[in-house]
Amino acid sequence: MFTGIITDIGTIQTVDGDQDRHARIACHYDLGQTDLGASIACDGVCLTVVSKQSDSFTVDISTETLEKTNLSGWQVGKRINLEKALRVGDELGGHIVTGHVDGRAKVVSVSQIGESLRVEFAAPTALARFIAPKGSVALNGTSLTVNEVDGDNFTVNLIPHTQTHTTWNAVKAGDLVNLEIDTLARYVARLAETA
C-alpha cells in the first residue's frame, strides 16, 4: 500500500530479459533498512526488491506488468518516481494507492499556467468512467487531483513542488503514463452495478 507521495527519484541502471525482465534501479534510499521481498512503487508499479546493493536495488518485471504498464519502455538512464511501502502509523498525505496499475494514459497536451503545468490526458475508455472532477488518480505513482473531465480526457495541474520532486518536469505530449484509478471509485462503481 502506498500514498502517491513520491519520496525519491530513481535511475534505471540496467534492464535485461525478453519476456520477463530484470531491472536495477539506483536510488537515494538507505537500503540497509529495506528487506529483500519489500515492495517499492516504481513509477506507480508495485515491484518486489529481489536483491540490493548499497545504492541500488533489483526488481523482476513480469510479462503481465510489461503489457499493462509503461515499463516495457524502460531504458538505461531513465528517471522514475519511487515510493517505499506505507508503514502503519505513517501519514497518508496523498490517497490510498495499491501499486496495481489499471492501464496507460496518454499525454495529450502540456501547457504552462502561471508556475504550474496543466496536463491533459486521454484515458482508456474502460477506465474513464472511474475518473471524476476533484477525484484522485495516481499517475506514474503520483497522487494527483483531477481538475476537469471531458469524455475520456481529463486534466491535472502540477504545482512547482511536484515538478521539482518528481519526474513530471520532463512530461511531454505523447508520453504514456501509468494510471491507477482511485480504489474508492472502483468500489462505488461496482456497488452501483450490483444494486
Tell me the pLDDT of the chain (195 aa) as tens digits.
899 999 999 999 999 998 899 999 999 999 998 999 999 999 999 999 999 999 999 999 999 999 999 999 999 999 999 999 987 667 777 788 999 999 999 999 999 999 999 999 999 999 999 999 999 999 999 999 999 999 999 999 999 999 999 999 999 999 999 999 987 776 676 667 776
Tell me what pLDDT residue 187 has. Answer: 67
Select from 147, 127, 142, 130 the least CA-distant residue to 177.
Answer: 142
Residue type, position 79, single letter: R
Residue 66's Cβ-side half-sphere holds a number of Cα atoms within 13 Å equal to 17
Structural Rg of the chain based on CA atoms: 16
Tell me what pLDDT residue 93 has. Answer: 72
CATH number of 103-194: 2.40.30.20
pTM of this structure: 0.93
Backbone angles phi, psi at 178, to 5 degrees: -75, 130
Specify the residue for cell string 515510493. 83
Tell me what pLDDT residue 190 has. Answer: 65
| Range list of H helices, the chain | 63-68, 125-128, 160-165, 183-194
- Would you list the domain boundaries of the chain? 8-84, 103-194
Same CATH topology for 8-84 and 103-194: the answer is yes
What's the CATH architecture for 8-84? Answer: Beta Barrel (2.40)
Tell me what pLDDT residue 180 has. Answer: 97
